[in-house]
Structure formats: C-alpha cells, structure tokens
Structure 1
Amino acid sequence: MNFLNQPDHHNSRPERMPPSAGPVRTGQRTRGEGPCRVRRLSACLLGAVFTACAPVGPDYRRPDTVMPERWQEARPPAAARSEAVGADWWQAFGDPVLNRLIREAMLANLDLKQTYTRIRAAREQRIVAIANGLPIVSNKESVSRRLNNAGQSGAGGQPGGVGFGNNIDIFQLGFDVQWEVDLFGGIRRSIEAAEANMEAEVENSRAVLVTLLGDVARAYIEMRSDQRLLDVSQANLKLQLETARLMRIRYQAGLSDSLAAVQAEALAAQTQAQLPVYEAARKQAQHQLELLLGKPPGALRALLDPEQPVPEAPDRILLELPSELLRRRPDIRRAERQLAAATAQVGIATADLYPKFNIAAFLGFQNMKITDVTALSKSWSAAGTLTTPLFNWGKIRANIDAKKAQQEQSFLAYQSAVLGALKDVEDALVAYAQEKARRAALEQAVASNRLALKLSKERYRSGLTSFLNVLDSERAVYSAESDLVQSQASVSADLVSLYKALGGGWQAAPVEAETFAGGG
C-alpha cells in the first residue's frame, strides 16, 4: 500500500505580520461623551470580529490514501450460501441465543459505558472551547479607597477641591465584561481540536463496540465447542468403558490375557481425564460472557446450560473493496480524527506568536457612601489591551515544534492503523479459508476412522487381528471427532475475526447508545 499526495498538514503556513493597532487614547470624560464612546466601542468590536485574520497554522486535509484494488487472500465466488458483511453480521449464524447475548452486551457492557462517559467529557470540553471565544459577563461589586491629591482650585488659586489630600472610599456595583478577540484564530483552532477530539471519542466507542461484539461471539462459540467436546468425550468414554468391561469378562473367562483388559481400561481413563478440562473451559467461557454482559458469575446459567450446536458459519461471504475499510473501521476513523486534532494543536501553539487583544468594560453605579442610596451615580469604563510576546527564551517556538512532532506522530499512527487493518483482513481471510479446508479433511477422517473401527472389531471377533488394532481405532475415532469439533468452532471463530477486521457491527448499535454517544 502506498500513501501518495501526503497533505501539507506537517508544515505551518508562513507567518503573517499582525495588523497595526492604533494607539489607545485615554482622557477625562466630558458631559454627553459616554453614549458616543459606547457606540464607537461597539463599532470597533464588530469590526474586530468581521475583520479578524484567518486562523494561523496549518489547515487540515484528510490524508490521500491509496488502497489495494482487491484482497490478496480472497477466494473466487463459489456456488454456495453466501452472506454479506452487514451491520448485524451475527445474524448470519442463525443462533437466537447468540443474538440475545449480542443485544444485551450492547446495552450493559461496562467498558462500552465508560466510552460514553468519555464522549460526554469531550463534548463538554468542546463547549468550554467555544465559550473561551465569547464575552464573559460577571457581576461585580467592589470597594476601594483612594488618596485624592488633585482637585479644583479654590479661592486665591489654592487647592480647595472636595476631598483634596484625603482618602476617598468608592463603592461600585454593576456588570463586568471581559473578551479576548480571536484575531489570529487561536481560539478557533482550539474549537477545531475539541470537535476532533469529541469525534475521536465517538469512533473509539465504536471501536470498543466492534471488539465487544467479536469477544461475545467468540466466547459463545468457545463455550458451545466445549459443550460439544464434552458430549463427544462422554460418548467415546461410554463405548470404551463397555469395551473394557467385555475384555475384563473375557480375561476372567480365560479367553484373553490381562494385557488387553488393562489397555482398554487405560484408554478409557485417558478419555475420562479430558472431561474436567472441557468442563472447566466451558464454565470459564460462560463466566467471560457474563463479564462482557455486565453480570455476576452464574447469571447466565439458565440460558447457557441447555446444549446447543456450535454456531455454523456461512459457506461464503461477500467482501467489499479494501477502500471501504477507511469508512467502516472505527479505529481508522479514530486515528484520522486524532490527526485532525493534532493539526489544530499546531495552530493553537502558533497563535501564541501573535498579539492578543483583550477588551474589558464595566457598566453600573458608584457611590462614595455605601449607606446613601440617593447619591448613586452611573459609572462605566472601557479599556483595550494589546499584548505582544517579545522575549520568552524560545518557549513558544519549542511548543510549536513539539506540537508539529505530535502531529507527525498522529500521521504515522494513522498510516499504521490503515496497514494494520489491511493485515487483519488478510490474516482473517487466510485463516478462514485454510480452516475450512482442514474441516473438510477432518470430516473425511472421522468417517474413515469410524469405518476402520467397525472393521477392526469385526476382524478381532473373527480372530484375524489383535485387540491392539481395536484400541488404536477407538483412539483414532475419538481424536478425529474431537479435532473436527474444534475445527468447526475455529471456522466460526475465524469468520467472527473477519467480521471484526472488516469493521462490522457498530452500525447496528442501539438507538439509545448512539444518541448517548452523539454518533450517527
């Protein structure tokens, strides 16, 4: 796979010089001047909003990724039952118990619920980022004491103003407004990063869901396989115990030596020793299912104890093009959103190179005596500050370079996610195809070994062969039947791995979960 036309999200655009800012003039207010200044201030604020510069830093573009035209391990279509890799792929197994487990896992799995809380946290962080670009209004009450050393001249040109040379108490009550005008797009880039992070959490939730569905199906297949292996072992044990009983009778009757009876009993004991292994594996798989469904051990016993066949996989599946992985795989979608967030972080760091323009305003009342309500007078003030970084020991530049390195890391992680997804699909395809071939061979082996056992027993009764051949045939039948059960389970499990590798399942999430996750 080649990655061509890589976007220029590694490189920041050339730095732009900030627009010149006019001098901030201050002076004493004259009567009737307040309304005019308020109108001029409003006009300046609107002008700052509509003439703000485009955000600094790199503009994000999705990576142009060239995907293979076809799957290397895909087999030609065969004339057999086929199933498309749909949103609800588990329906292809036709197992109502599995369908129920999948539905309950979607609603109750604790790991999946944790991803929803992370989506909520990311959504709130997006609101914080948006709020940082809006004016902040707060209630303000202040008390201050000032030393008055200036006043109007009295008679004879001597200072005689009210309160001259005295401390003056000033009480203020009103509203305070603070606003950082986003001239160079640092706040806009932070909103972009917050939105990308929120979308990445949504995709992470979907990736967890895809993994969850695969884990539930595989644990269920494993449990049914262990149940079937128990049945096969018990059936063979019953036959072997009967053979051992007959050989013991023949020995006691003097028709056979003790070696045949001991060998028959040894084979039965070996088979019986497998029963605890399969029973333990069955219960552990059941416990795993209960964990995935957010239930305590034993909660699913009534549902899972009744024996059911191992879910059977369809003979053939309909594959989509490799390019569909970019749309279907949540981990690729998550990596792409993380790359978008990392690109926005470069713009946030770059904005620190440019001046910051803050506006502050106050509107309310003031008085020199807090107890004298009749003396309240209107009070307002407005100020603007422009701060420009001059010397910071390379801190801003180092932060920009660090964010660029993180962006490059995210780009490489995206490439790795795409390559890993292709590998997962090819591995699942080859495992599924080869296991199907192995299963076909084992089916023939079981049939042949059963026939060999029948013939060996007939020849033994006729005295044409030794009892050792009968024991070998019984051992071969048990081994082949056990291998066939495990292969049937492996075919189904490999198909589950293929569905997971293709990114199927998250599209069928319950409405409640998708609404809670903010996805769609």
Structure 2
Amino acid sequence: MKRAMRLVSPAVGPVAGMACLMLLSACASTRDADTRVPAVYEAPVSPEVASAPSLETWWTGFNDPQLTALIEQALAASPDARSAAAKLREARATRSGALTSFLPQGNPRGSVTQTDSKVIDGAEVAVPGFSTAGDSETQSANFDVSWEIDLFGRIFAARRAANAEMAAARLDYEAARASLAAAVADGYFAARGLAIQLEDTRATERIQAELYRIVNIRAERGIASTADADRVAGDLAQARSQVTALEADLQAAQRNLLILTGRGIEPIASLPIDASVGVVPQVPAAVPGELLARRPDVRRAEAMLVSALGRLDYAKLAFFPTFKLAPGIGLQQNDQPSYSATIQSWTIGANVTVPVLDIPRLLTEMNAQDARAEQAAIAYEKAVQTAYGEAENSLVQLEADRRRIALLENGEERALRAYEASRKGYVAGFNDLQTTLDNERAWRTLRTLSTAAQVQGLRRAVQSYKALGGGWPLEAAPTNKEAR
C-alpha cells in the first residue's frame, strides 16, 4: 500500500496573518437600511372596518361569485401563474446547485490499457519465466475526492446568500399571484363598467328613436320644425355609433379576462358580464408597519439585501486561506507476459491556498460587492417608502371615491326626475324640445359620472387591497431563518 501526504509550508502562518491585516484595514461595511414609517396613515379610516374581508382573500369581500371563480381559475390555470411557478422551481434548482459546490467533489475514474510487444531487434533476455514480448493489460480504478474545510464561515456566507435569493424568488412568486388576482378583478370591474355604459347607451338609442318618431309626427302636423327632427336624428346617429364602439370595447375586455384566466381561446359567450356594480367593500384597518410583513415586494427587497450582505461577507472571507482535504483510493491490475499483480493504494492529502498576489483583485471585488450591498439597502428603503406611499394614496383616493359616489347618486336621482317630468311635458305639448334635450343630457351626464365613480370605487378598492399587501397567504412567506 502507498500513502501520500502533502504538508503545508511553515510560511503559511505569516502570509495568512498579512492577508487578515489587509482585510481588516480595507474592511467594507454597509449601513443599515432606514425602514421607518409613520405609526398611522393620514388617510381617514372608515368606522365600518369590522365587516372588512381578510386581506389574504380580499376578493371574497365583494360578494360576487363570478369574480371569485375567475380569480380562482386564474390562480390555477393562468399562463402567468404557471410561469411564476416554473420560475420558482428554477430558483430552487439554482439554490441547490449553488450549495452543492461546497460538498465533497470528485468522480470515480477507470481505465484499461492493452499492449502487444514484440522484439524486432536484439536478443531477448533469456531468463526463465520472464519475457519482454507478448500481450500485457493494465486495469485501474481511482476515486479522488476534494473537500473544502470551512474554518472561517465561507460556506455559511454562501448559504446565507443562496437562501435569501431563494426567499426572494418565493416572494416574487407570491407577488405575481397577488398581482394576477388584482389584474383579474380590475379587468372584471372595468368590463362591468363597459356593460353598464353599453346598456345606458342602448337605452339612450331607444329614447332618441322614440323622440325622433314624436318629433317627426309633430313636424308633419306643423307643431314642430324640421330642424328639430334633424337635430334629434343627429343625436340618434351619435347614440348608435356609441353602441357600436362600446360593443367592441366590451368584447375586448371579455377577451382579456379570458386570457388572464387561462381560457383565451374560449368564445366570448362563455364569459357573460352583468351590467351592474356592487357596493364598494370596506378595507381592513391596518397600520403602516404591517407593510413590512405583508407586502411581498418589500419582503423581497429585504431578502435581496440579506443576499447582498451574505455575498459581501463571502467576498471578505476570500482573503483568508482555503483549506482542502484530498483523500483518494485506487486499485490497479497488471497482467504482463511474465507476471500478474494487483496493487491497492490510498492517499490522504491536504492543501492550503493563500491569496497573496490576488489581494488587489479581491479588494476590488469586495469594494464592488459593498457597493452592491449599499444599492440593495437603498432599494429596500425605496420599496418601503413606495409601499407606504401607494397604501396612503389608495386609501385617500378610496375615501374620496366613496364621498363622490354618494354625491353623484343623489344628483343622478334628481336629474332623472327632472328629465322624466320634462319628457312627459314635451309629449303633452307643455315644454319645448330644447328643454327636454337639456334635461336628458344633464341626467345622462350624471348617470355616466355616477357609473364611472362606482366602477372607479371598486377598482380603487382592488388597488387598496393590493397596496396593503393583500392577495397572498402570509404564512407562505419564507421565515427569517430560511432567508438568512
């Protein structure tokens, strides 16, 4: 048996000490991210928050079975959801691959060599039982392993960075699903708004057609002028053109919803849209500090900062010596013309690598990684501030939408009463056409504004739920231990 050992030079100690001194003298550090937020939102909070739905499944608060079904379909079968799941699987594989580089490395090797020797010149040695000519065969198998011994925490730093990047990928997955749910709800309410506009425009078309019939009769009898008939005919043509445009817009909105839910090739008739809107639901009471835990984009920014700090630690530890064990075993079979032998061997080696001439390059890499960590800290701060701003703005705008809806609904009711009285008066001959048309336009305008406000309120509620970090289960978030 053979035994081999590579010894470490006595000069390693001073060299390693010099590397450590240079590391300490050039040690980079990244400041902590400033993630302070106000204790409460400035936006007014509705007192009816007890009836607010859970943020995790906020869409159930609209009490709309069709909306709930569409979001569930999208989360299960949408191309966006399936793509997000595939990216998560990729991230898991990448993390596993990054960590396997620190496991023992090595592969078994084997070889077979066959040689045919002939004496073509000179005399063969005449030794009984020995010949230099003939067939010979050599078979060998070796298994050499290299394994880094982590004395300074390099593997821990690499694992910390890999785990944090895996956590960021998981949060990307949850953010994609939360955004998908919000996109479906937003598109659904937009489609309902178009359906309401289309229904109102068709009603306008019918009213204008009836009014045109009445004006024509009055003109034939000399009670009204032909100019009045021409004016109503123009309004009727405008209403019909709006019907055509709204039909196309609604069909496009339905197709987009089908695509979002993974049903993009199904017929439009498979997704009926009701021409009505529900009540804007309440938003759960929340404080700004909850955004740090609930918003997946904020959590992702934090994970990327943890990853950058782990890579910075890894860059610092590159100044320290690297120790590796290199054990191995081997087996060789020699079949010669005159003899046959089996040889078994094992080796145990150790080596150390000290970065002496690489120190300038390592300093550059460490400073670059420190700058990346600083960028990650700034990105984390920006994510927190952006999340707070989005939540604050959405709550302010949602409360304004509620007040606007109430005012427009009241105005619409009064305008409708005025129009109906004016129209009856015109048919009876008490009012002129101009007054009737003015009252109708006033009512139609308020009707359109009221419908738009209701739809906007529903879509704003969706934005508020998303801004507050809704749409994903908080327990699915990676823990600090997993991220670090």
Structures share fold, TM-score greater than 0.5: yes
Determine the structure 2 residue equivalent to 1:417: 383
Alpha-carbon separation, structure 2, partners of 1:410 and 1:132: 25
Determine the structure 2 residue equivalent to 1:362: 328
Aligned in 2, Cα 1:246/1:508: closer, same or farther, shift over 3 Å?
Answer: farther
Q: Does 1:97 align with 2:66?
A: yes
Aligned residues: percent identity?
30
Aligned in 2, Cα 1:447/1:144: closer, same or farther, shift over 3 Å?
Answer: same
Shift of 1:463: 5.3
Determine the structure 2 residue equivalent to 1:20: none
Alpha-carbon separation, structure 2, partners of 1:98 and 1:81: 22
Flag structure 1 segments of 5+ consecutive residues without an equivalent: 1-27, 41-52, 146-161, 163-167
Matched position secondary structure for 1:389: coil
Alpha-carbon separation, structure 1, partners of 2:468 and 2:197: 30
Determine the structure 1 residue equivalent to 2:319: 353
Aligned in 2, Cα 1:477/1:207: closer, same or farther, shift over 3 Å?
Answer: same
Matched position secondary structure for 1:357: strand
Matches within 5 A, 1:371-450: 374-392=340-358, 394-450=360-416
Alpha-carbon separation, structure 1, partners of 2:338 and 2:269: 79
Aligned in 2, Cα 1:58/1:337: closer, same or farther, shift over 3 Å?
Answer: farther
Matched position secondary structure for 1:349: helix
One-letter amino acid of the counterpart of residue 106, structure 1: L
Determine the structure 2 residue equivalent to 1:67: 37
CA contact (8 A) 2:323 2:353 kept: yes
Matched position secondary structure for 2:469: coil
Shift of 1:175: 1.7
Q: Does 1:140 align with 2:140?
A: no
Measured against aligned partners, the alpha-carbon deviations of 1:211-241 in whole angstroms (never above 9, x if no partner) come to 1110000101111111111111111221121
Alpha-carbon separation, structure 2, partners of 1:233 and 1:289: 23
Matched position secondary structure for 1:136: coil
CA contact (8 A) 2:142 2:329 kept: yes
Matched position secondary structure for 1:394: helix
Determine the structure 1 residue equivalent to 2:211: 243
Shift of 1:299: 4.4
Measured against aligned partners, the alpha-carbon deviations of 1:349-395 in whole angstroms (never above 9, x if no partner) come to 22222222222122122344478995102211222221212223721
Alpha-carbon separation, structure 2, partners of 1:453 and 1:297: 44
Aligned in 2, Cα 1:357/1:409: closer, same or farther, shift over 3 Å?
Answer: same
Determine the structure 2 residue equivalent to 1:228: 196
CA contact (8 A) 2:256 2:264 kept: no
Shift of 1:308: 5.1
Matched position secondary structure for 2:164: helix
Measured against aligned partners, the alpha-carbon deviations of 1:11-51 in whole angstroms (never above 9, x if no partner) come to xxxxxxxxxxxxxxxxx96xxxx6xx99x9xxxxxxxxxxx
The structure, 1 or 2, with the larger RCO (C-alpha pairs under 8 Å, 6+ apart) is 2
Flag structure 2 segments of 5+ consecutive residues without an equivalent: 8-19, 115-129, 131-135
Determine the structure 2 residue equivalent to 1:486: 452
Matched position secondary structure for 1:406: helix
CA contact (8 A) 1:233 1:478 kept: no
Determine the structure 1 residue equivalent to 2:14: none
Determine the structure 2 residue equivalent to 1:269: 237
Matched position secondary structure for 1:77: coil
Measured against aligned partners, the alpha-carbon deviations of 1:97-119 in whole angstroms (never above 9, x if no partner) come to 11110111111122222222222
Determine the structure 2 residue equivalent to 1:106: 75
CA contact (8 A) 1:446 1:481 kept: yes
Alpha-carbon separation, structure 2, partners of 1:325 and 1:393: 42
Shift of 1:143: 7.4
CA contact (8 A) 1:85 1:499 kept: no
Alpha-carbon separation, structure 1, partners of 2:28 and 2:268: 54
CA contact (8 A) 1:221 1:311 kept: no
CA contact (8 A) 2:320 2:355 kept: yes
Structure 2 counterpart of 1:252, from 201, 206, 220 = 220
One-letter amino acid of the counterpart of residue 146, structure 2: Q
Alpha-carbon separation, structure 1, partners of 2:405 and 2:414: 14
Determine the structure 2 residue equivalent to 1:307: 274
One-letter amino acid of the counterpart of residue 269, structure 1: A
What is the TM-score of this pair, normalised by structure 1?
A: 0.78
Aligned in 2, Cα 1:242/1:461: closer, same or farther, shift over 3 Å?
Answer: closer
Determine the structure 1 residue equivalent to 2:15: none
Alpha-carbon separation, structure 2, partners of 1:262 and 1:372: 121
Structure 2 counterpart of 1:120, from 89, 92, 99 = 89
Determine the structure 2 residue equivalent to 1:184: 152
Segment of structure 1 superposing worse, 429-438 or 117-126: 117-126
Segment of structure 1 superposing worse, 403-412 or 360-369: 360-369
Matched position secondary structure for 2:43: coil
Aligned in 2, Cα 1:244/1:81: closer, same or farther, shift over 3 Å?
Answer: farther
Paired residues in the alignment total 444
Alpha-carbon separation, structure 2, partners of 1:197 and 1:243: 67
Shift of 1:461: 5.2
Alpha-carbon separation, structure 2, partners of 1:63 and 1:372: 77
Alpha-carbon separation, structure 2, partners of 1:278 and 1:122: 44
Determine the structure 2 residue equivalent to 1:44: none
Alpha-carbon separation, structure 2, partners of 1:362 and 1:175: 5
One-letter amino acid of the counterpart of residue 442, structure 1: L
Segment of structure 1 superposing worse, 427-436 or 360-369: 360-369
Matches within 5 A, 1:7-46: none
Shift of 1:140: 2.2
CA contact (8 A) 1:354 1:389 kept: yes
Shift of 1:306: 5.4
CA contact (8 A) 2:31 2:374 kept: no
Determine the structure 2 residue equivalent to 1:45: none
Matched position secondary structure for 2:107: strand
Aligned in 2, Cα 1:60/1:99: closer, same or farther, shift over 3 Å?
Answer: farther
Measured against aligned partners, the alpha-carbon deviations of 1:333-362 in whole angstroms (never above 9, x if no partner) come to 111111111111112222222222222122
Aligned in 2, Cα 1:83/1:372: closer, same or farther, shift over 3 Å?
Answer: farther
Shift of 1:318: 2.7
One-letter amino acid of the counterpart of residue 165, structure 2: N
Aligned in 2, Cα 1:61/1:376: closer, same or farther, shift over 3 Å?
Answer: farther
One-letter amino acid of the counterpart of residue 215, structure 1: A
Alpha-carbon separation, structure 2, partners of 1:129 and 1:373: 49
CA contact (8 A) 2:52 2:284 kept: yes
Alpha-carbon separation, structure 1, partners of 2:190 and 2:339: 82
Measured against aligned partners, the alpha-carbon deviations of 1:156-182 in whole angstroms (never above 9, x if no partner) come to xxxxxx9xxxxx997532321111222
One-letter amino acid of the counterpart of residue 467, structure 1: L
Matched position secondary structure for 1:364: strand
One-letter amino acid of the counterpart of residue 75, structure 1: V
What is the TM-score of this pair, normalised by structure 2?
A: 0.83
Aligned in 2, Cα 1:395/1:169: closer, same or farther, shift over 3 Å?
Answer: farther
